[in-house]
A and B are shown apart, each in its own frame.
Chain A
Amino acid sequence: MSKAKKKAKQKEEWTPELLVFCCNWCSYAGADLAGVSRFQYPPNMRIIRVMCSGRVDPTFVLKALKDGADGVLITGCHIGDCHYISGNEYTRDRFKKLHEIIIKQLGIDGKRVRLEWVSASEGKRFADLITEFTNQIKELGPLKVF
């Protein structure tokens, strides 16, 4: 980003920048459904599609926070619905550890990193979830990592 752009951005009102990891089989389809059904949700987030929520390494989350994301949301299929049978169970266990041991000890608010299950039929829920998460991050303010 050029300097002029950065300055222009600073003058505007701050909006959070969120990163959402969606699994290919449930959550991404859920996001799709939200779009097709024209549910409105805030546009501050970027979606990264992964084949399974088990693909999301804790390092991805940390790197996102390091490089300027104000919040990270990981979404996957409900437990038991995973396309790869047990991928999301790994995510659940790993995420719990990440939350307790690393995010907390780094002094970053635990609310900024979240794990949710969204299935392909829950378009409405996806839209609501993004709205709620965005509002939550707005309340917390920017994560000043720079």
Chain B
Amino acid sequence: MRNLLKRCYQCGRCSGVCQLSKVQKYTPSKIIQLILEGFEDKVIESGVLWDCLTCNQCLKDCPEEINFADIVRMARWKMRHIANQNPDELIAHKGMYTTISEIMSRPYIQPERSLDWVSKGCKISDKGTTLYYVGCLPYFNYEFENSDSIAKSTLKILCQIENEPIVVFKDEICCGHDIYWGQGKLKTFIKLGKKNMEMFEKAGISKIVTACAECYRTFKVDYPGIFDDFNDKFEVKHIIEFIYDNWKQNKIKFKNPSESSERIPFTYHDPCRLSRFLPKDNNITEKTREIFKEFKRLGYDFKEMEHNKKNSLCCGVSSWMNCNEKSKALRYKRMLEAKAAGDIMLTSCPKCKIHLSCLQDDFEDIASIEIMDFSEFLVDHIEIINPDKDTEITE
């Protein structure tokens, strides 16, 4: 771990921008210095790194580009396997969803997920080229009602644009993001990855579309780190990119089904996994903004929150770790910003949506904001351009 940190010259910027440091005592620069001076064991023993949000704000502002979130990930592995710490108390929802992921990593388990959310007009199959990777949404239904509406609307969009049937696995398993980042269980993550690779290859997939920010980051960056040929075999796309590409190719256009003349202000919450966690050449945040610019013509007002794009605030919980009063404070801050910006708040991470809307039950002043997923919002606003009628495009 020390070799990764050697470039640090203790400017202390990471501790300044750290989102967690606003609500509790937590100083990345101090931890880095401790490790550099040879007190790595003490840092590991103290268990302080379980608290990290892994929001990656520190990397974004670091002049030497030290990836602190990666350090945290490695430290979590060490804390679990070498210092024998058990973070079960810290996991949100008592570790329910991480346990589910672990069960799915076992070789004999074959999930039978319900496909009730697939709407009638959509054609789905087991084999094909384009896969819609749903993620854990059907399991979230246990505590959060109606969470598969994200899956429903995403599939609707995909079916409208693609002519071929979309592949949706009945026995899809977890991508392993939470296990990898939150739990430090590298072995389980690799098991899940291998199982996933096999499934994709069997079905003959070449393009993976997902609506989850975490799944996207895992497929885009973490899987190629483990399987060298992952990127050659599969093309990974977030639903935002998918819509953007089709829009630029003039296959679709946006419309506004409601005819009221009132302008509706809305805002967008950038999930950390889509803004700060991607390689620098990935400009998905800009693509999102371009789509929103188009929406200005349709009677919507897109307003940025105070912290946006790569500086956006964290929703307070990542990979189901540490849901407590501190993360609630962070969320409340985010919701106040959203309230100042608009009536509707969009996000493209199902978990951000869950975390932020959970807080609305506790505080009345922010309950009026409508939190929607990107695909839920766009599903009614997409119109397919028929290639036979060229006149429509010029219009």
Contacts and interface: CB of A to CB of B under 8 A. Distances in A.
Interface of A: 57-59, 62-63, 65-66, 97-98, 101-102, 104-108, 144-146
Contact of A101 (B103, B104, B106, B142): B142
Given A57-B94, A101-B139, A107-B111, 10 more contacts: A58-B142, A59-B93, A63-B99, A65-B103, A101-B142, A102-B142, A104-B112, A105-B138, A145-B103, A145-B106
A101 B114 CA distance: 9
A59 B94 contact: yes
Contacts of A59: 93-96, 99
Contacts of B139: 101-102, 105
B114 A105 contact: yes
Interface in B302-349: none
A140 to B, nearest CB: 13
A106 B103 contact: yes
B119 to A, nearest CB: 19
A108 B81 CA distance: 29
B106 A98 contact: no
Nearest to A60: B94
Interface of B: 93-96, 99-100, 102-104, 106, 108-114, 138-139, 141-142, 171
Contacts of B138: 101, 105
A98 B142 CA distance: 7
B110 A107 contact: yes
B102 A97 contact: no
A106 B96 contact: no
Q: Which of A59, A97, A108, A144 lies at the interface centre, i.e. has the most chain B CB atoms within 10 A of its CB?
A: A59
B108 A104 contact: no
Given A97-B142, A105-B114, A62 B96 contact: yes
Given A59-B99, A62-B100, A66-B103, A107 B141 contact: no
B99 A66 contact: yes
Contacts of B141: 101
A106 B138 CA distance: 11
A83 to B, nearest CB: 23
B106 A146 contact: yes
A145 B108 contact: yes
A144 B110 CA distance: 11
A63 to B, nearest CB: 6
A95 to B, nearest CB: 11
Contacts of A108: 109
A62 B104 CA distance: 11
Contacts of A105: 111-114, 138-139
A31 B110 CA distance: 35
A101 B138 CA distance: 8
A144 B113 CA distance: 19
Q: Which of A58, A63, A107, A108 lies at the interface centre, i.e. has the most chain B CB atoms within 10 A of its CB?
A: A107
Contacts of A146: 106, 108
A31 to B, nearest CB: 26
6 contacts: A57-B94, A63-B95, A65-B103, A105-B113, A105-B114, A144-B108
Contacts of B103: 62, 65-66, 106, 145
A102 B139 CA distance: 6
For the complex of A and B, list the 7 residue pairs with the smallest distance between their C-beta atoms, beginning with the closest: A144-B108, A59-B94, A62-B99, A107-B111, A101-B142, A107-B110, A107-B112
A98 B99 CA distance: 13
A53 to B, nearest CB: 16
A143 to B, nearest CB: 8
Nearest to A142: B108
Contacts of A102: 100, 139, 142
A105 B97 CA distance: 13
B95 A107 contact: no
Given A105-B138, A105-B139, A145 B100 contact: no
A65 B113 CA distance: 18
Contacts of A63: 95, 99
A78 B93 CA distance: 27
A59 B114 CA distance: 21
Contacts of A97: 142
Contacts of B93: 59
Q: Which of B99, B111, B112, B139 lies at the interface centre, i.e. has the most chain A CB atoms within 10 A of its CB?
A: B99
A108 B96 CA distance: 16
Nearest to A105: B113
A63 B102 CA distance: 9
A73 to B, nearest CB: 19
B117 to A, nearest CB: 12
Nearest to B110: A107
Given A57-B94, A62-B96, A66-B99, A106 B108 contact: no
Contact of A106 (B94, B95, B100): B100
A106 B99 contact: no
B94 to A, nearest CB: 4
Nearest to A106: B111
A40 to B, nearest CB: 33
